Amino acid sequence: MATPRTMKAVQYEKYGRGAEGLKHVEVPVPSPKKGEVLLKMEAASINPIDWKIQKGMLRPFLPAKFPFTPVGDLAGEVVELGSGVTGFKPGDKVISISFPSGGGLAEYAVAPAALTVARPPEVSAVDGACLPAAASSALQLLKATGVSFDKKTSGSTGPKNVLVTAASGGVGHYAVQLAKLAGLHVTATCGARNVAFVQGLGADEVLDYKTPEGAALRSPSGRRYDAVANCAAGLSWPALKAVLSDEGGTAADVTPGVRAALTSLLQKVTFAKKRLAPLMLTPRREEMEWLVELARQGKLRTAVDSRYPLSRAQEAWAKSVDGHATGKIVVEIGGADDLAGGVVELGSGVTGFKPGDKVISIGFPSGGGLAEYAVMPAALTVARPPEVSAVDGACLPAAASSALQLLKATGVSFDDSTSNATGLKNVLVTAASGGVGHYVVQLAKLVGLHVTATCGARNVAFVQGLGADEVLDYKTRS
């Protein structure tokens, strides 16, 4: 099938504004240059560096130009090869990393062939999209501390006891598993709600970072670490140095700043026993292939915190910025059950539609939305007027219908003749900034109810803008 000329994408036009700065646009499909492949996107994984670039952390160097389509961890299907590319063909399922060019929040993206690897059927597109930056960072973080993944040497040299901080996060949860594969004793830190999760990854000791022991990074068994894989932001070198063995050791830092680089340089010239190793990820194809093989064998598991369709990329972005994800945050390109498209063919007995009609539908439980074509029940298909975009239309079937039925179940009437006769005057809407919740607020206001809503602090203004009369931050006592 021919590649379309245009595609849906999510971009930002300037630094700042977080999720609110992301805009849905229709743009030309990019063409692969020499050494590149064009992918029909299936999934993209958001990493902190993506929103840090938007925030201006690497200004004025990145992004190279505006508007910019962010996210560099890609999973998709090869549809076109740039000149000089061998080893791939259209139809191949692959994963890739496109940093700093990005492009992942779109229906199509170009990627460097040199950093593109095959994705076997045992590894889903969602899991595959999570590997390039996060798993590679975990691997290089451990290698920087002296850990060897060569079976001939892993037991004879290198660290024996490793501390992994922020072990439930995107990089951290891979670091725990890789450290165990190398035969290390792993002490890990995370929040209280994730202790069981990190234990399930194989960690020998798990500390709640908010307890005194966790804050001090002290091993429950009294061990001193000869390696630290620091995946947490804000931990100082003195704090890491204090828990390294007196015989020496290395703390590798996945979130280094300028001070970390200067500290590391000074340690090198003074031959210090305890060293800080700032990590700047250098993607390597052979490492990505090895990580994919581990995933194929079931030896490296990906924890997916949440998945969002491209139409809700802003929510995925905000979730990453919030910083409390367990594992990875993924944007799937397309919708699984909620569908928007153009009619191309009618099944027998179908009336009321014709080829070319723009429609929305719900294909539950059959699904089918993550594809170029999908079948849908005509009985649950409705016309989409030009005033409603395909993106907005695809969001309505499940979420807005759930919101409507939720209110009806409480006794709310949407019949103009009876809407005020039921006696309902005040409604509480929880999680009001979410997919269902934000529709509930608006529908409740349409029938004249007084709406009190709860949401996170960062979404208070958004929910007020939906019409809520009173908005509560759910983390406050009130």
Same structural domain, 49 and 159: no
Domain-located, residue 130: no
| pLDDT category of residue 157 using cuts at 50, 70 and 90 | low
- Asked if the structure places residue 131 within a domain, the reply is no
Q: Which two tokens stand for residue 429?
A: 């809407």
- Same domain? For 191 and 272 the reply is yes
Is there a domain that residue 92 lies in?
yes
Can you give the pTM of this predicted structure? 0.72
- How many independent structural domains does the chain possess? 4
Residue 299 placed within a domain: no
Residue 70 lies inside a defined structural domain of this protein: yes
Tell me: do 269 and 313 sit in the same domain: no
Q: Does the pLDDT at position 461 exceed 50?
A: yes
Q: What is the CATH number of the domain that holds 98?
A: 3.90.180.10
Based on the fold, state whether residues 203 and 78 are members of the same structural domain. Answer: no
Specify whether 252 is located in the same domain as 372.
Answer: no
Q: In whole angstroms, how far apart are CA 439 and each of 339, 413, 418, 457, 463?
A: 18, 16, 21, 19, 10
Are both 370 and 328 inside the same structural domain?
no
Whether the per-residue pLDDT at 335 is higher than 50: the answer is: no
Tokens of 264: 């590391």
Residues 186 and 265 in one domain: yes
Is 69 within 8 Å of 63 (Cβ atoms)? no
In a domain, 341, yes or no: yes
The answer to whether residues 70 and 141 belong to one domain is no
Decide: 79 and 90 in contact? Cβ < 8 Å. yes
Q: Is residue 42 part of a domain?
A: yes
pLDDT value at 152 more than 60? no
Q: What is the pLDDT of residues 207-254, one digit of tens each?
A: 999 999 999 999 999 999 999 999 998 899 999 999 999 898 999 999
End-to-end CA distance of the chain: 56
Q: Are 253 and 320 in the same domain?
A: no
pLDDT band at 86; cut points 50, 70, 90? very high
27-68, pLDDT tens digit by residue?
999 999 999 999 999 999 999 999 999 999 999 999 999 999
Residue 401 in any domain: the answer is: no
Closest CA to 316 of 336, 303, 332, 300: 332
DSSP codes joined into one string, 231-252: --TT--HHHHHHHB-TT-EEEE
**The pLDDT of residue 330 is above 90:** yes
pLDDT, residue 153, reads: 45
Mark whether 384 and 432 lie in a shared domain.
Answer: no
Q: Are 384 and 405 in contact, with CB atoms under 8 Å apart?
A: no
Shared-domain flag, residues 258 and 185? yes
CATH code of the domain covering residue 419: 3.40.50.720
For 384, the domain range is 335-389
Whether residue 152 is found in the same domain as residue 262: yes
The chain-wide mean pLDDT, for the chain, equals 90
Q: Which of 317, 332, 347 marks a domain boundary?
A: 332
Q: Over the stretch 440-449, which tens digit does the pLDDT of each residue have?
A: 999 999 988 9
